[in-house]
Amino acid sequence: MHVDTKLPKVGTTIFTVMSQLAAEHGAVNLGQGFPDFAVPEFLVDELARAMREGKNQYAPMTGIPALRQAIAAKTLDCYGATVNADTEITVCSGASEAIFDAIAALVSPGDEVIVLDPCYDCYEPAIDLAGARAVHIPLDPADFSVDWARVRAAVGPRTRMLMINTPHNPSGAMLDASDMAALVDIVRNTGVIVLSDEVYEHIVFDGRRHESVLRYPELAARSVVVSSFGKTYHCTGWKIGYCIAPAALSAEIRKVHQYNSFCSFAPAQWAFAAMITAHPEHYRELGDFYQAKRDAFAAQLRGTRFVPLPVPGGYFQLVDYSAINDMGDAEFCRWLTIEKGVTAIPLSPFYESPPAGQRIVRLCFAKNPATLDAAIARLEKV
C-alpha cells in the first residue's frame, strides 16, 4: 500500500536513536533528558495511596479538581498570577500533548507559527499537522539570545502563534524582563497567540528569576503556558503536564484534548496534588539542587577537552568539542557513543538550518554523581 506521509521531514526522534545506540554499546547515556535518581518518597507514597484507595478509573477530562486547585495556588505563589482552576487549567498527558493540543486547536491551515531555533523537535510536526507553516528565526549562536527585531519583521497577516521556551532546551538560555517587554510590544494589537513552553520553570540558577508570561497580564491574556511535572519531580515517565490559558483559549484546547487522550493517569494526579500542597519547598529549592549538579559537572568537564558553555537554567550542559575534531555534531555523537562510551545529543536536529561550523553537543546533568563520574572518566580520555 502506498502511503502519502503527512510528516515527510520526520524520522525517528534523535532522542530515541541516541538512547538505543547507548544501550547497544553500553554507553553512559547523558543524551536523553531524564533523571536517574529517585522520585521524592512522599510522591511515591501518595501514588501508592491513591491506587490502594481505588482512584484508578478515568479522571475528569480537565484534570482532578484537587490538582487544578493546587496548580492555581502554586501559580499565585510563584508568579503572583490568579488563574481560574475550573476554566483556565487543563491537565494533559505530558507537556508534549499540551503543545500538540494547543497548536491543533488554535492554528489553522495557511497560518504561520514563529519558532526560535534551536527549538524542541515536537514543535514543527504539530505545526505541519495543523496545515500551517513554521517560520524559523535563529537565536544568536553565541549566547542563544533572541533578536527581537527579526521576530518583529517576521510577524505578518498570517502569523497566528509565536512560540517561546524559557529556560531554553537545548541551551539553558533564559529570557529576562527586557525580553518580555519586547515580546509584549510585538504582539500588542495583533491576533498573535503566544505559546510559552516553561517545563524547566523551577530549574533556574544564580539568583535569576524565571520570567513566566504569567507575570505579565497583557501577555497572559493571549498566552498558553505549558509546564511539566516530570521535570520538576524527577518522574518523566509518568507523563503528566498541564497548560494554563485564558478561558476562551482553554475551551478550544479542551476540545482537542478530550479526543486526544481524554484524561491523564488518575493516581498520579492525586499524588501531585498532595505533593504540591504538602511540600512546596521542593519546587522552591529545585534550582539550588540542580545548580550544585551544574557546578560540579562543569568543574569536572574543565579537566577534559570539552569546553562547557554557560547554563542559566534547565538541566542540560552544552559543550564545545571543536578542540577534539571537526566532525559534524550528529557524526560526533555517534562516534562518542560507539568509540568512547558516552552519549550526547547533537544540536542540529533542533534547527531548520544549523549554523555553519557549530561544534556543540548537549549533555544532561540530571544524574546521580556516580553516573556523571563514570561519564567524566571516559570523557577525560577523549
Per-residue model confidence (pLDDT) at position 41: 98
> What is the pLDDT averaged over residues 286-293?
98
Number of structural domains (the chain) is 2
* pLDDT digits 0-9 by tens, 345-358: 999 999 999 999 99
Overall average pLDDT of the 275-297 stretch: 98
Query: Residue 369 falls within a domain, yes or no?
Result: yes
- pLDDT tens track for 257-271: 999 999 999 999 999
Separation of CA 338 from chain center: 28
| Residue 253 structural domain | 43-279
Give me the half-sphere count of Cα atoms (radius 13 Å) on the Cβ side of residue 195: 31
Contact between residue 204 and residue 312 where contact means Cβ atoms under 8 Å apart: yes
Taking 90 as the threshold, does the pLDDT of residue 374 lie above it?
Answer: yes
Confidence (pLDDT) at 11: 85
- Which of these three, 222, 257, 279, is where a domain ends? 279
Q: State how far the Cα of 230 lies from the Cα of 243, in Å rounded to an integer.
A: 14
Quick check: 32 pLDDT over 90? no
As given in the structure block, the three cell numbers for residue 181 are 517587554
CATH classification at residue 302: 3.90.1150.10
Q: Name the pairing type of β-strands 159-165 and 112-117.
A: parallel
Is the backbone of residue 6 left (phi > 0), alpha (psi -120 to 50) or beta? alpha
> Helix count (H) and strand count (E) of the chain?
15, 13
Q: Between the CA of residue 52 and those of 32, 39, 248, what are the distances in Å?
A: 32, 19, 37
In a domain, 196, yes or no: yes
Q: For the stretch 249-271, what's the b/e string if a residue is b when 16 or more beta carbons lie within 10 angstroms of its beta carbon?
A: bbebbbebbeeebebbbbbbbbb
pLDDT (average), residues 230-244: 97
7 belongs to a structural domain: no
What confidence tier does 279 reach under pLDDT thresholds 50, 70, 90?
very high
For 136, the grid coordinates are 524559523
Indicate whether 12 pLDDT > 90: no
Tell me: do 171 and 249 sit in the same domain.
yes
Q: Cβ(225)–Cβ(214) under 8 Å?
A: yes
Section 83-91 average pLDDT = 98
Looking at the structure, do residues 23 and 85 belong to the same domain, yes or no?
Answer: no
Give the Cα separation of 349 and 259 in Å (integer).
Answer: 30
**Confidence band, pLDDT 50/70/90 cuts, at residue 382:** very high
| 119-143 confidence digits (pLDDT tens) | 999 999 999 999 999 999 999 999 9
